[in-house]
Each structure stands twice: as structure tokens, then as C-alpha cells.
């Protein structure tokens, strides 16, 4: 028997939970997440959330910083809308119990990050995401209309395809009726039928060997929508955070927040020389694409594995009180940041593109919404401004909540959906082959589709990925569903989309830097 709910939410980060809380007064809600509800990218966010809350800041300045960081590929009207919604969204988060740091005067203690012309980042110490996740999780778990199902993996969207109809990507009448899910406690496949589905599955960091993202980030939502013939865009814009703690055996890499550079920390080569002045007047606080590429260039020139982030000149008491998490985590890794430099290197961090949505969070598929990192709203353009991601997630969840509440009366549960056809009878004989293939995908993407790309590298990447695609499809067809195999298949799907869109872009813009198309301002 299929489960039926008015609103199905796939993902329990800031996008999924804020949507759930907003629709819950209007019907039954089910939130699924593939591990524990708290294990999300949101939980690891450090710097904070960008919003215009006081002078001398203004919407105009936040708009201009976002546009300039995105190399003008942003959707201007979306940027204007998101920036204006900022203060209201901060208010909603606080109403749900999130605490942001304040100064003794009662004003917010605003931080500054790369690409921001003003201090405008609201934060909770250096673990803002943990605080937001805590507050939202508490609210959702206590809401009588919301059922939370952890360890429940969304496998595929249910559309007309499952009623035996042929659908094509250009079709404008594709509809989503629900989701097939895999219960990871007992490996049973369930059908969830719904009137509104929200995809809020986060990013794709695990496509790369080194990432700041937790293990959950395997691009599932994007792969699901792509297979259901929905529209995906801007996948070539993968953001590498310039400063992840360099430790090749650690996964995910521990992030060293940009707010530390906002507080005065300076990037230096391992022989102690600052280098950012060679690349941008804003030096260590230039936008992320510029800083990550500058570090990449220095590492390649010098044959080094990391550069240094130097905080030693900063007031040590203030440093410890503003960045307690970083101080403790670095100590665990045997670095006292008040006395020693932090070894850092770029790591895959954020995807600017994804499932195309309109200003209501509506995807190209009817009854299907998306918000947060999985989506492409037009806010970020070719490069995301720091701390605009949490903001984007709450704004579009709010818009999608309003749109799906309106849609509720027009949408019906669709009957006669067949159960999942589990033709595959066996589990893969050797799970190690899946592990190996995942490693290969990560190697291909890291070696050929990283911070600096070329036509030849992209071509190589595609040829190699194709082999893995064919092998994995054969294995998938004959195997029982398993988390690892589904994730591998999804990673290959999103890897293909990144390469395809990178090949299609015949210019270097923002995060997509192809040496065969030198940009106007050369690095």
C-alpha cells in the first residue's frame, strides 16, 4: 500500500525543513532524509547568512556585490527579490529559535566575507549552520502535522513514465506523482504518493576527491529530476572553497571559514610570502573563484600541496572567542592557530547550478518544487557570493511553500501507480567494485574538471566517465537496489552534466575557467 501525503519533502537541511514548517498548517507533511535528520550541509555552515539589516549597508550594495561576484550571469530580478527578502527570512529563522550573535549594544555582530563590500553576515559564533539546523530540527520534530522518516532514500520520481507513457525532456506537461523510496533499515522499496514534492537534497561535493561537504552530498536530487526529464542548468559552475584544512586522509575536509580572512587572516605561501596582491586588489578577501584559482596557480608553480593562512598577528583572545570551533578543530589537528599558520588548500564546496526553478521554486515538472543548493534559481550566476546560499534556501522554500499551498486544491493523488519493479535479484557480488568506481569518478572530475579546465581535459573526462556509466548501468539493471549503487549512479549522472555543460560554455566565466577561452581579465 502506498503512503499518501499532501506534501513530500526530500531533504532535511535548511531548505527542506523551512518549507515543511511553512506548509504544515495546510496539510500532512512527510520529510525524508537519507541518514539522520541532522546530517546535512546546513549543519556544517560556518560563516553565516547574508542579509541587509542595518546602515551603512543597503539592498543596492548587496545586489551589486552578488551581481559582480556572479560575473553578471545572475538573473537581475531574482537577485533584487532575494536581497529584499533577506531581513524577513532572518526574522523567520529567529522566530523558529535560531540565535544570531549580537554586540553589547544589541545590534547584530555582523561579519564580512569575500566579495562583500560591507559587513552583512549574521552568524552564531563560527557554527551558524549547527545552530540553524538545531532550531529547525526541534521545531519540525515537535510539529503534529509533520512525519519525519530518517534513513529513507529517494530513488526515483514517479511521473507519467510509470503509467507507461513516453515522455521527452522538452515536454511541458510532465507531472510528478510522488517518489519511490528505499528504506535503508530493511532495504524495502516504498511508494509515496503526494500532491506536492519538494526536492531539497543539497549539493554534489562528493563528485570530487576533496570536498567540504558531508558524505550525503552525491547530487541525488539533480539526478532524479534529470532522469525524470526535468530541466537542469548551470552545472559547470562548481565552487571550490579556497581554504579547507589540508589533510589528504580526511573526508570531508574541515572548512576554515572565509570570515577568518574577514577578521584579518592572510594567505601566504609556505615560505611566508603574501601572494594575493598579485591577483586582485581585494587580496585575501577577493571573491572565491579568484582566490581559489590564485592558490591553485601558486601551488602548481611552487609544486606545493598547500598554502598557509596566517592568524598569528590577530588578537589571540578575540580569535578564540569569535572562532571557538575553528580553534578547537585545528588544535585537534595539532595546529594552534594563535601561534602557527593553518595549512589550507581549495576543496569542492558548492554547486551554483542544478534543477532550474522559477521565482516560485517551481521546476519544469508540475507539482515538483526545488530549493536550496540542489536548485538553480538565477541568484548566483557564475559564482556564489559567500553566505548567499543559506539565504537563497530560505527565500525559495518560502516562495515554494506559498505556491504549493495554492496548488494543493488543484492537485490530486494519482492512482494505479505500479509498485517498484525490483527485477534485479541479487546484491552486487563485490561491493568493492562500487567503491572503486566511485573513486574513479572522483579522480576523473578532480583531474580534468576541477578549478582549471581545458577542451582536451573535458573531452578526456567524458570518454572516461562513459566507460563507468556503461558498466554501472549494467550492474544497476541486474542488482537489487542498494544505497551505494544508487549514489554511484547519481554521481555519474551529475558528473556527466557538469562535463556536458562545461563543454558547451565557450568562454571562461566565474567558476568555469577554461584555458582555451582566456577571460578578459587574465589570472
Buried b (16+ CB within 10 A) or exposed e, 359-375: bbbbbbbbbbbbbbbbb
Q: Is 288 a catalytic residue?
A: yes
Binder of ligand SIN out of 201, 367, 387, 437 (CB under 6 A): 387
Neighbours of 80 (CB within 10 A): 16
> Which among 164, 175, 183, 163 is positioned nearest to 228, based on CA atoms?
175
6 versus 310: smaller Cβ distance to ligand SIN: 310
CA dist 413 → 182, 191, 369 (Å):
21, 12, 17
Q: What SS3 state is found at 492?
A: helix
Least Å from the CB of residue 11 to ligand SIN: 18
190 versus 258: smaller Cβ distance to ligand SIN: 258
Least Å from the CB of residue 106 to ligand SIN: 25
Per partner kind, with CB cut-offs from 5 to 8 A, the member of ligand FAD, ligand SIN, none near residue 40 is: ligand FAD
Q: In angstroms, rounded to a whole number, what is the distance separating the alpha carbons of residues 374 and 376?
A: 7
Chain centroid, CA 285 distance in Å? 22
Per partner kind, with CB cut-offs from 5 to 8 A, the member of ligand FAD, ligand SIN, none near residue 32 is: ligand FAD
**For ligand SIN, what does the binding mask look like between residues 10 and 49, x meaning CB under 6 A?**
------------------------------------xx--
Asked if residues 352 and 234 have their Cβ atoms less than 8 Å apart, the reply is yes
Q: In angstroms, rounded to a whole number, what is the distance separating the alpha carbons of residues 516 and 458?
A: 11
Cis upstream peptide for 3 (omega within 30°): no
200 versus 232: smaller Cβ distance to ligand FAD: 200
Bin 334: left if φ > 0, else alpha if -120 < ψ < 50, else beta.
left
5 versus 337: smaller Cβ distance to ligand SIN: 337
> Which among 327, 154, 199, 167 is positioned nearest to 256, based on CA atoms?
327
- Give contact residues for ligand FAD (rule: CB under 6 A): 10-16, 32-35, 40-42, 44-49, 128-129, 153-154, 200-202, 212-213, 216, 220, 255, 350, 372-374, 387-390, 393
Least Å from the CB of residue 445 to ligand SIN: 20
Least Å from the CB of residue 402 to ligand FAD: 18
347 versus 461: smaller Cβ distance to ligand FAD: 347
83 versus 499: smaller Cβ distance to ligand SIN: 83
Residue 253 in the binding site for ligand SIN (CB under 6 A): no
Looking at residue 426, what DSSP letter applies? B
| C-alpha cell belonging to residue 497 | 552534466
Least Å from the CB of residue 516 to ligand SIN: 29
Residue 511 in the binding site for ligand SIN (CB under 6 A): no
The catalytic residue among 288, 384, 457, 489 is 288
Residue 258 in the binding site for ligand SIN (CB under 6 A): yes
Q: In angstroms, rounded to a whole number, what is the distance separating the alpha carbons of residues 18 and 15?
A: 6
Give the residues lining the site for ligand SIN (CB under 6 A). 46-47, 257-259, 350, 386-387, 389
Give catalytic residues, as residue numbers.
288
Amino acid at each position: 500500500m502506498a503512503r499518501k501525503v499532501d506534501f513530500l519533502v526530500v531533504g532535511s537541511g535548511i531548505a527542506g525543513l523551512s518549507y515543511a514548517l511553512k506548509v504544515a498548517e495546510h496539510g500532512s507533511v512527510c520529510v525524508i532524509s537519507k541518514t539522520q535528520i541532522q546530517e546535512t550541509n546546513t549543519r556544517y555552515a560556518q560563516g553565516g547568512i547574508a542579509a541587509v539589516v542595518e546602515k551603512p549597508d543597503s539592498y543596492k550594495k548587496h545586489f551589486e556585490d552578488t551581481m559582480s561576484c556572479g560575473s553578471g550571469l545572475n538573473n537581475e530580478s531574482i537577485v533584487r527579490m532575494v536581497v529584499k527578502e533577506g531581513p524577513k527570512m532572518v526574522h523567520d529563522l529567529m522566530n523558529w529559535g535560531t540565535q544570531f550573535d549580537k554586540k553589547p549594544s544589541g545590534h547584530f555582530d555582523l561579519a564580512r566575507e569575500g566579495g562583500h563590500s560591507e559587513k552583512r553576515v549574521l552568524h552564531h559564533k563560527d557554527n551558524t549552520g549547527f545552530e540553524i539546523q538545531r532550531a529547525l530540527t526541534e521545531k519540525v520534530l515537535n510539529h503534529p502535522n509533520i512525519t519525519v522518516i530518517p534513513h529513507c532514500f529517494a530513488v526515483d520520481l514517479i511521473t507519467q513514465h510509470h503509467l507507461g507513457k513516453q515522455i521527452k525532456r522538452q515536454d511541458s506537461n510532465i507531472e510528478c506523482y510522488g517518489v519511490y523510496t528505499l528504506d535503508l533499515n530493511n532495504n524495502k522499496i516504498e511508494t509515496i504518493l503526494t500532491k506536492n514534492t519538494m526536492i531539497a537534497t543539497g549539493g554534489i561535493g562528493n563528485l570530487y576527491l576533496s570536498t567540504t561537504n558531508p558524505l550525503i552530498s552525491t547530487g541525488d536530487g539533480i539526478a532524479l529530476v534529470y532522469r525524470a526529464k526535468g530541466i537542469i542548468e548551470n552545472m559547470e559552475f562548481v565552487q571550490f572553497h579556497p581554504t579547507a584544512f589540508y589533510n589528504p586522509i580526511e573526508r570531508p575536509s574541515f572548512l576554515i571559514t572565509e570570515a577568518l580572512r574577514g577578521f584579518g587572516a592572510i594567505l601566504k605561501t609556505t615560505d611566508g610570502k603574501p601572494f594575493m596582491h598579485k591577483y586582485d586588489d581585494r587580496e585575501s578577501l577577493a571573491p572565491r573563484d579568484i582566490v581559489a584559482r590564485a592558490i591553485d596557480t601558486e601551488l602548481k608553480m611552487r609544486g606545493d600541496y598547500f598554502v598557509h593562512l596566517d592568524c598569528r598577528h590577530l588578537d589571540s583572545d578575540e580569535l578564540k572567542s569569535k572562532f571557538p570551533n575553528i580553534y578547537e578543530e585545528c588544535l585537534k589537528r595539532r595546529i594552534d592557530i594563535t601561534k602557527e599558520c593553518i595549512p589550507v588548500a581549495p576543496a569542492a564546496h558548492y554547486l551554483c547550478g542544478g534543477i532550474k526553478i522559477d521565482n516560485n521554486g517551481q521546476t519544469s515538472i508540475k507539482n515538483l518544487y526545488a530549493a536550496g543548493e540542489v536548485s538553480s534559481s538565477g541568484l548566483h550566476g557564475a559564482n556564489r557570493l559567500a553566505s548567499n546560499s543559506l539565504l537563497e534556501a530560505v527565500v525559495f522554500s518560502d516562495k515554494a511553500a506559498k505556491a504549493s499551498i495554492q496548488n494543493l486544491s488543484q492537485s490530486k493523488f494519482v492512482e494505479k501507480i505500479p509498485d517498484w519493479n525490483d527485477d534485479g535479484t541479487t546484491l552486487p557480488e563485490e561491493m568493492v567494485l562500487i567503491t572503486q568506481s566511485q573513486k574513479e569518478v572522483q579522480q576523473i572530475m578532480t583531474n580534468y574538471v576541477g578549478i582549471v579546465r581545458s577542451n582536451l581535459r573535458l573531452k578526456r573526462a567524458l570518454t572516461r566517465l562513459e566507460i563507468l556509466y556503461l558498466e554501472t548501468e549494467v550492474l544497476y539493471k541486474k542488482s537489487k537496489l542498494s544505497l551505494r549503487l544508487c549514489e554511484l549512479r547519481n554521481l555519474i549522472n551529475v558528473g556527466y552534466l557538469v562535463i556536458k555543460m562545461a563543454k558547451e560554455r565557450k568562454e571562461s566565466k566565474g567558476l568555469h575557467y577554461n584555458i582555451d577561452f582566456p577571460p578578459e581579465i587574465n589570472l
